[in-house]
């Protein structure tokens, strides 16, 4: 089973050179969009891709760089193609995504009054595998980010870990690799400053070598060029490149 990953962007919420950290996970018959931030519609356009060719969009948590493109996505599909996107999201996010984020822009009396009016909503329970296609199985793992904000990392096909924005979790990462058979880690990486809600490069560098060598770095800032060559075994994930996972 061959799974590919193409990032629509690899930047943090404020990056101007790398777009928001959103991705496409692809198997031969299925395309999953991981998060749909403010820059996702333009990123799709630049890749000559259409939301029509995405089977489902998965949301990890509610920050603009992860959900800020959903309004445009839903409107594009409705008005150009008369269809709804399948929205996969942790069950705990269904209500806040509508009440705290999308309702403000999308509410229309008598026409649009719930998330279900604009998406095919498929709530997912964390901690159990969900088969999305013949080759793609996804499990949500709740991980800490901003206090009070539910956030979910992903385990893909039982052996790939994709971090939502996450506070450094060394024990989890070591356990995933040494006990749970994870062979690839896609991890957010804050290059400067203290990691209050993200994991810093310094923290990732403190991991043992057998874990570091499985890590691709993503969700980084525009200062990334200054850090190339200073990440030991860990490589920066690059926007638009197609990776076989
Ligand atoms: N200097 C900054 C940078 C980012 N932010 C917000 O904190 C969020 C952390 O998760 P994120 O998804 O990276 O989005 C960030 C901004 O909303 C912020 O409040 N101040
Ligand atoms: Zn983010
Ligand atoms: Zn975030």
Cα 77 to the center of its chain, rounded Å: 21
Contact 157, 168 (CB under 8 A): no
CA-proximal residue: ligand 1, atom 9 (nearest): 197
Give the position of tokens 């991981």. Answer: 34
Query: Which residues crowd ion ligand 2, with CB under 5 Å?
Result: 65, 165
CA-proximal residue: ligand 1, atom 1 (nearest): 14
Pocket of ligand 1 (CB under 6 A): 12-14, 63, 65-66, 165, 197
Q: Residue 231 above 90 pLDDT?
A: yes
**Mean pLDDT score, 216-225:** 98
User: How does the average pLDDT of the chain come out, rounded?
Assistant: 97
Q: Residue 228 above 80 pLDDT?
A: yes
Q: If pLDDT is split at 50, 70 and 90, which confidence band does 1 have?
A: low
Distance between CA atoms of residues 67 and 64, nearest Å:
5
Domains and CATH numbers, the chain: 4-237 (3.60.15.10)
pLDDT in tens, 67-110: 999 999 999 999 999 999 999 999 999 999 999 999 999 999 99
Instruction: State the closest ligand 1 atom to the C-alpha of 63, by its place in the atom list counted from 1.
Output: 12
**Collapsing DSSP states into helix, strand and coil, what is residue 183?**
coil
pLDDT in tens, 157-205: 999 999 999 999 999 999 999 999 999 999 999 999 998 999 999 999 9
pLDDT at 172: 98
Contact 243, 5 (CB under 8 A): yes
Give the position of tokens 């309004």. Answer: 71
DSSP β-bridge partners for residue 187:
217
Instruction: State the closest ligand 1 atom to the C-alpha of 61, by its place in the atom list counted from 1.
Output: 12
Contact 192, 225 (CB under 8 A): no
pLDDT at 2: 84
Structure tokens at 203: 């923290």
Query: Which residues crowd ion ligand 3, with CB under 5 Å?
Result: 63, 165
Give the position of tokens 């990462």. Answer: 173
CA-proximal residue: ligand 1, atom 5 (nearest): 13
For 32, the enclosing helix (H) or strand (E) is: strand 30-34
pLDDT at 237: 98
**Mean pLDDT score, 223-243:** 98
CA of 13 to the centre of ligand 1 (A): 6
CA of 36 to the centre of ligand 1 (A): 16
């Amino acid at each position: 089973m061959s799974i590919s990953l193409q990032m629509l962007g690899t930047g943090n919420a404020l990056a101007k050179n790398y777009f928001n950290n959103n991705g496409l996970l692809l198997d031969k018959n299925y395309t999953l969009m991981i998060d749909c931030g403010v820059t996702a519609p333009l990123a799709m356009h630049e890749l000559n891709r259409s939301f029509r060719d995405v089977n489902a969009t998965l949301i990890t948590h509610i920050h603009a760089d992860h959900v800020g493109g959903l309004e445009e996505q839903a409107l594009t599909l409705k008005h150009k193609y008369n269809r709804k996107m399948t929205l996969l999201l942790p069950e705990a996010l269904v209500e806040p995504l509508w009440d705290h984020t999308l309702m403000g822009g999308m509410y229309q009396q008598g026409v649009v009054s719930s998330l279900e009016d604009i998406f095919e909503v498929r709530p997912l329970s964390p901690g159990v595998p969900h088969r999305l296609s013949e080759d793609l199985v996804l499990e949500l793992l709740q991980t800490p980010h901003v206090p009070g904000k539910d956030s979910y990392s992903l385990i893909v096909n039982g052996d790939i870990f994709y971090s939502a924005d996450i506070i450094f979790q060394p024990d989890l990462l070591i356990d995933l690799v040494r006990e749970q058979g994870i062979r690839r880690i896609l991890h957010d990486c804050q290059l400067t400053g203290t990691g209050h809600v993200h994991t810093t490069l310094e923290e990732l560098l403190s991991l043992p070598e057998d874990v570091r060598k499985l890590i691709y770095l993503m969700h980084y800032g525009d200062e990334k060029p200054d850090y190339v060559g200073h990440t030991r075994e860990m490589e920066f994930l690059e926007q638009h490149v197609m990776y076989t996972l």
